[in-house]
Amino acid sequence: MLLLSILLKKPMNMRRLAIAAGLDYKTVEHHVRLMEKNSIIESMGGGYGRVFFVSELVLAQKDIVANIRGVKNGKGKNGKK
Q: What is the pLDDT of residues 40-50, one digit of tens each?
A: 999 999 988 99
Q: Is residue 78 part of a domain?
A: no
Supply the range of the domain harboring residue 58. Answer: 2-72
How many domains would you assign to the chain? 1
The CATH number assigned to the domain holding 40 equals: 1.10.10.10
Cα 63 from Cα 43, distance rounded (Å): 23
Provide the edge-to-edge strand list for the sheet that holds 12-13.
12-13, 51-54, 41-44
Q: Is residue 37 part of a domain?
A: yes
Cα 8 from Cα 71, distance rounded (Å): 18
pLDDT 10s digits, 24-60: 999 999 999 999 999 999 999 998 899 999 999 888 8
Q: Is residue 79 part of a domain?
A: no
Q: Is residue 77 part of a domain?
A: no
**What's this model's pTM, rounded to 2 decimal places?**
0.74
